[in-house]
Amino acid sequence: MRLGLQVSWFSWPDAPASIGPTFGRIAQDAEASGMWSLWVMDHYFQIRGIGPSELEMLEAYTTLGYAAGLTSRIELGSLVTGVTYRHPGILAKTVTTLDVLSGGRAWLGIGAAWNEQEHRGLGVPFPPLKERFERLEETLQIVLQMWAESDDPFRGRHYDLERTLNSPPAVRRPHPPILVGGMGEEKTFRLIARYGDACNLFDMGPERVRAKLLVLADRCAEVGRDPREIRNTVLSRITLSRDGGGRAPSGETTMSVAQAVDKLAALAEVGVDDVIIGMANPEDAAVYELVADLVSQVAPVEAARP
């Protein structure tokens, strides 16, 4: 099992001046601890459940480019880009640029978008859900066409591209992996089965995750795809402390490494390959000693696949 880190909070003391140095250290500490990947949200405003919209929020791909320049191994992605935020051709160019400059470490994380408030706030169109899913499928088709190094036109219902030129091409072959985020069994899972290299689910507990992955396997069968070609990833919340059972400043209960190993092993038993964690204290350099221990202990754990 591989462990990644998602950073979704940038409101550190002395922000905004502290944001660059603090985030840079987080990226370097995550890489040094052996974490496989580093992810940021793609939002204009901070989201409910984390804090008020007025809190600091960075643009995702500028942030990932900054992290790329400070690291050499850790993989980089947005968890996840809303399809409405960028024109598909520009999104393909953006992720390709990140891949080229990072030496082949970029992911495309993408979903149907949901936060209407930030769209309205910055004047970005927010079409109905049905149209957003139509646009999501066309976007997946466009980025794959551009990554196939075809410059043919693309004619879709929502997008019309005269020339899908993408130079330079991505470094990673056959292309940067595509992670489709979302829990919807009808629309999202069918798009994952057809176009995705990875899914991303919320950590609802092992049994509910198992049920979702069984539905995803059915969607793969419908299109003749082996579900083992798709990396099953889960976004979870784990804040480590030496003994566990304490309280983080956020109020959440901390876990020991042993407790976290048990939690992650239970997810592996239902078919989860990779877990991306959010921590209450990613800016605390001392916690990465515990993170490194956790990474090494779960590395041999393999997802139970049929």
Give the separation between CA 50 and CA 140, rounded to whole angstroms: 29
Does 304 reside within a domain?
Answer: no
Does 66 reside within a domain?
Answer: yes
pLDDT of residue 245: 83
Does 224 reside within a domain?
Answer: yes
**Averaged pLDDT, 28-37:** 98
Place of tokens 């829990």: 183
pTM: 0.95
Residue 2 scores a pLDDT above 90: yes
**Averaged pLDDT, 10-17:** 97
Does 285 reside within a domain?
Answer: yes
Q: How high is the mean pLDDT of the chain? A: 96
pLDDT tens-digit map of 173-183: 999 999 999 99
Does 106 reside within a domain?
Answer: yes
pLDDT of residue 305: 84
pLDDT of residue 210: 97
Give the separation between CA 135 and CA 277, rounded to whole angstroms: 29
pLDDT of residue 173: 96
Give the separation between CA 109 and CA 119, rounded to whole angstroms: 19
Does 218 reside within a domain?
Answer: yes
pLDDT tens-digit map of 185-195: 999 999 999 99
Residues spanned by the domain of 7: 2-298
pLDDT of residue 300: 96
pLDDT of residue 70: 98
Total tally of structural domains belonging to the chain:
1
pLDDT tens-digit map of 122-149: 999 999 999 999 999 999 999 999 999 8
Does 59 reside within a domain?
Answer: yes
pLDDT tens-digit map of 264-304: 999 999 999 999 999 999 999 999 999 999 999 999 999 99
pLDDT band for position 167 (cuts 50, 70, 90)? very high
Give the separation between CA 52 and CA 37, rounded to whole angstroms: 27
What CATH number is attached to the domain comprising 212? 3.20.20.30
pLDDT of residue 251: 79
**Averaged pLDDT, 252-258:** 93
pLDDT of residue 130: 97
Residue 249 scores a pLDDT above 80: no
Identify the CA nearest to 179 among candidates 264, 81, 87.
81
Does 305 reside within a domain?
Answer: no
**Averaged pLDDT, 98-109:** 98
pLDDT of residue 250: 77
Cβ neighbors of 68 (< 8 A, separation 6 or more) are 76, 98, 101, 102, 105
